[in-house]
Each structure stands twice: as structure tokens, then as C-alpha cells.
Amino acid sequence: MTASSPSPSLRQLVEKYLELAGAFGRPAALSSFGFSQPETERVFGIFDEDYHISRFFHFSMQTGAGSADVYQINGFPQSHVALDAEINTIL
């Protein structure tokens, strides 16, 4: 996604998450969403700041062999996100 392209909708992000993770509750690397680092931090930061959305997002920092890139999501280092199936209630 370039700086001039619009941010994905929540529905689009959830669909991409399911494509990557295979099921709700499973971690997906933030780097696998295909955004640049600044765009990843901005997009996920926006959703993380919204209480009604963020309660379904579970960020984690996974390290070790094959670990993914690290992103600063609202000031915290994160590498993965898992979404709760209940996010469907607000789509």
C-alpha cells in the first residue's frame, strides 16, 4: 500500500488476516499483510486505538528462529496479531 492509497477497511483487514492465519485466534505475522513498515504501524495503530475494535486484536512479540519483523504499534514492539472470531459482530 502506498502513502496515497486508502487504508483497508476493517472487513478487508479481517479477510486478509483469515487468509494468512487460516482461522481466528491464530497469530499472523504483521509483515505478511503486505504493507510497508510505516503503513503497517499506522493501520494497526488506528485499529488498536479504537476500543470497540482493539478488544478483538491481540498483538504479540514472537522471537526466536524464523521470527518476523518488529513494528511499533502505538509505542509497543509487536510482530504478530491474532483476532477473535467475535470481531464479526462489528463488521
Which positions ≥6 away from 10 have C-beta within 8 Å? Answer: 47, 53, 87, 90, 91
Q: Check: CB of residue 47 under 8 Å from CB of residue 30.
A: no
What pLDDT shows up at residue 45? Answer: 97
Q: What is the mean pLDDT of residues 73-78?
A: 96
Q: Check: CB of residue 30 under 8 Å from CB of residue 38.
A: no
CA distance 84 to 57: 7
The closest alpha carbon to 76, from 30, 12, 20, 17, belongs to 30
CA distance 35 to 5: 11
> Binning pLDDT at 50, 70 and 90, where does residue 89 land?
very high
Sheet holding 57-60, edge to edge: 28-29, 80-83, 57-60
Span 12-62, pLDDT tens digits: 999 999 999 999 999 999 999 999 999 999 999 999 999 999 999 999 999
Which neighbouring-strand residues pair with 59? 81
* Domain extents in the chain: 10-90
